[in-house]
Amino acid sequence: MVGNDSSIWNTPNPMPQIEVKHTYSFPIETVFSAFTDVAKFETFFFRSEGGILVSSELTPETGGQFTIIETRGDASVPHNGTFLEFETNEKIAFVFGVGDGAEQTDYVELFFTTRPAGTEVLVKTEIDRADMVDQSKLGWTKLLAALEKTLSAGAGAGVMLPTKDSQGNILTNEDAVKVIKDLNVKGSSMVVKRGTLVKRIRLISGNNEEVDCKVDGVALRLETQWLQKV
């Protein structure tokens, strides 16, 4: 196993440092695979409650990059990062930035260790503002908790029902669908009209009754009962 002797822990005059850990009742190979499979990765990594996924990219290797873009309210929030180390079942180190064109200056290390109860994931990072320590800890705690949900959903994948449209056709990522009735968008005056063509839908892990999509540039989540595959 890799020791937790990260360079960010051995700097003179270090910035405030954070450690957050979570133990999963899954083997280390299963836990690590969530960071190599974009379909899993996009369900928990830098995702927020109520946020709608717009797009994701993942190249799981040293020097590879990742992008998670979701809509939060009226704002599009991109997280872009680069993997500095990618050691299978042991360690991932990366830098990331938030926002279009943001410099990737935040450095994070993830350590994976087999424990009697399963697999422990330890997050180590540092921030340049002492008043943000608690908020940062909460953010990483939520991310690790979201990973738990992703792993649990995967454990039941064998009995997971497929996502189907109103006619019983199985939907897949990137499908195009047609709206079969006028749909009012909650919290908005927007109406998605019957007959609207929606391209490049995205399935939602653990949810076979809705899909994520964009209509006229607006990120939405639509119920599949009102959609027809084209």
3-class secondary structure per residue, 69-126: EEEECCEEEEEEEEEEEEECCCEEEEEEEECCCCCCCEEEEEEEEEECCEEEEEEEEE
Q: Cα(32)–Cα(4) distance, rounded to whole angstroms?
A: 17
Say which residue the tokens 């019957």 belong to.
194
Predicted confidence band at 186 (pLDDT cuts at 50, 70, 90)?
Answer: confident
Q: What confidence score (pLDDT) does residue 7 get?
A: 54
* pTM exceeds 0.95, yes or no: no
> Under CATH, to which class is 177-229 assigned?
mainly beta
Q: In this model, does residue 158 exceed pLDDT 60?
A: no
How many CA within 13 A on the CB side of residue 142?
11
Predicted confidence band at 12 (pLDDT cuts at 50, 70, 90)?
Answer: low
For the record, the structure tokens of 135 come out as 């908020």
Q: What confidence score (pLDDT) does residue 170 get?
A: 86
Mean pLDDT, all residues of the chain: 88
Q: Tens of pLDDT along 56-94?
A: 999 999 999 999 999 988 889 999 999 999 999 999 999
| Chain length of the chain | 230
Q: Cα(128)–Cα(147) distance, rounded to whole angstroms?
A: 26
Q: Where in the chain is the domain with CATH 2.30.30.40?
A: 177-229
* Residue type (1 letter), 123: V
Q: What confidence score (pLDDT) does residue 119 get?
A: 94
Kindly list the distances between the CA atom of residue 165 and the CA atoms of 79, 87, 143, in Å, as whole numbers in the listed order: 31, 40, 31
> 143 in helix, strand or coil?
helix
Say which residue the tokens 């892990």 belong to.
205
Q: In this model, does residue 207 exceed pLDDT 70?
A: yes
How many of the other CB atoms lie within 10 Å of CB of 221? 17
Q: Tens of pLDDT along 107-146?
A: 999 999 999 889 999 999 988 778 888 889 999 999 999 9
CB 133 within 8 A of CB 40: no
Assigned fold of 15-158: Alpha-D-Glucose-1,6-Bisphosphate; Chain A, domain 4 (3.30.530)
Predicted confidence band at 162 (pLDDT cuts at 50, 70, 90)?
Answer: confident
Taking Cα atoms as reference points, which of 120, 93, 121, 119 lies closest to residue 107?
Answer: 93
- Annotate 159-197 with three-state secondary structure: HCCCCECCCCCECCCCCCEEECCCEECCCCCCEECCCCE
Q: Where in the chain is the domain with CATH 3.30.530.20?
A: 15-158
pLDDT mean over 37-46: 94
Predicted confidence band at 14 (pLDDT cuts at 50, 70, 90)?
Answer: low
CB 209 within 8 A of CB 225: yes
CB 114 within 8 A of CB 89: no
Q: What confidence score (pLDDT) does residue 116 get?
A: 86
Say which residue the tokens 């839908």 belong to.
201
Q: What confidence score (pLDDT) does residue 8 get?
A: 52
